Amino acid sequence: MNRAAPDLADETDADTIRRLFEAQRPRALALRTSTAAERIDKLKRLRRLMYARWDDIRAACHADFAKPAAEVDISEILPVVAEANHAIRHLKRWMKPERKRPTLLMFGTRAEVRFEPRGRCLIISPWNYPINLSFGPLVSAIAAGNTVILKPSEMTPHCAALMQDMLGELFDEDEITTVQGAVETSQHLLELPFDHIFFTGSPAVGRIVMAAAAQHLTSVTLELGGKSPVIVDKTADIAKTAQNVAWGKFANSGQTCIAPDHVHVHADVADAFVEAMRKAVTKFYGERRDIPDNPDYCRIVNERHHDRVRGLADDATERGAHTPLGDTAAGGDNYIAPTLLTDIDPESRVLDEEIFGPLLPVLTFTDVDQPIARINAAPKPLALYVFARDDAFIERVIGATSAGGTCINQSVVHFLHTHLPFGGVNNSGLGNSHGHYGFRAFSHERAVLRERFSLAFLFLPPYTRFTRWVIRLAVKYMN
């Protein structure tokens, strides 16, 4: 397996970044009047290029962290193509001004909301789904008529180099371009007064991005993360639940922002759930001794993250946790086995830190108020998953908690639903993306009111006795 990084410059210098940013100013102004047909043509060309470079995308993802070809197809290529297809089908309708009925106070006026491009946009994308989480927001930015500077993660250099090559083939740099680098490059970018920033990453870095954006009053969309919980009721279909949780958790070796982070399972079915998880993992990846050689199982992206995840597992087992599935033995090539942890000490780091790896703590409860209280005591998660046949149980959990999104009797697939908003809440994110929501994130919703024959002249000074009477009447009855 080739894991050598391509020859990329360590950082894009500040002068180059500012030159690109300034070059996009006139282009952004010109794109304000771009038509739906022009934007759709760009989306179609991007879609064609995704198909043309299919094998290259697979190869780059495998080179960066041994991502299986099937997972590349379903989690990197499919979401981008689905976003492009959805935007192509609906963009003309999205771009049409929305007529707004007048209120009684505004009788005699005509109002509408127009969707105009925000302008020069910055997309900072992560390493865990490098193609998907770069080109997905890019589709929305193109649909909304913006220019873009894309800064992909330096931790997946093969994918970063491929995206730079692909976008260079499609676009002039004064419209869409890519810059390479790590922290220093991001700092240079965040010093500039972009019109919108779309960031995907950790809550800690999200705070830095938001603080930098505040210096220019730049709008932001933040897709962050957190510890997405699972609640399994005793009424759940345990075999199906385990299969869905195992796939959501161990695909991409757990390096998914909406992956199940930990499971609260009813004590009556806890043993059955653990056994069903063992069977599901064996079905997906084989026996424990065979998983390291299974090409369908991904690797941790680099040694630093491997050591971080391994440290979480070691801390838990040193505090007495058991591993009914997987092990915490060292593995080469940044390999960590799919691992369940039970009997976990409450002080274990794995219960407090976002795992972002193939470790799944299993906690038990006898009353649903126990996991609800734990969830509500923690920062709001990006996703919450409920498995049950009891509708009252499901509604109790949803009504008593808050999360960016929720699946019932399934995990992670809500990301692929282009009619749903995708985003977090508070610590797990700000704003939404995907489909129409992504188009709106990259658009300014401009209110336009046209005077026809309104009664506004009745409120003008001098404030005579009659004028004051009209104002009082309006306050009471015309709002």
User: How far, in Å, CA of 347 to CA of 364, rounded?
Assistant: 16
DSSP string covering 359-410, please? EEEEEEESSTHHHHHHHHHSPPPSEEEEE-S-HHHHHHHHHH---SEEEESS
Look up 318 and say whether it is catalytic: no
Distance CA 393, CA 76 (A): 34
Is 98 a residue of the active site? no
C-alpha dihedral sign at 287, 292, 293, 297: positive
CB 138 within 8 A of CB 150: yes
Decide: 221 and 194 in contact? Cβ < 8 Å: no
Q: Give the chain's radius of gyration (CA, Å).
A: 25
Distance, CA of 317 to CA of 243 (rounded, Å)? 25
State the catalytic residue, choosing from 61, 121, 159, 257. Answer: 257
Take residue 42 and report the two structure tokens written for it. Answer: 């760009």
Mention every residue, 6+ apart, whose C-beta is less than 8 A from residue 277.
242, 245, 246, 325, 340, 360
Residue 98 host element (H or E): strand 98-100
Closest CA to 426 of 406, 403, 448, 444: 403
Q: What is the enclosing helix (H) or strand (E) of 448? A: strand 443-451
Residue from 244, 292, 39 nearest 147 by CA: 39
Residue type, 442: F
Count of other CB atoms within 10 angstroms of residue 97? 12
Q: Which residues of 332-364 are buried (b: 16+ CB within 10 A; e: fewer)?
A: eebbbbbbbbbebeeebebbeebbbbbbbbbbb
For 28, half-sphere exposure in the C-beta direction (CA atoms, 13 angstrom radius) is: 24
Q: Which residue has the tokens 């976008």?
A: 167
Of the residues 76, 175, 223, 354, only one is catalytic, namely 223
What residues are labeled active site?
Answer: 223, 257
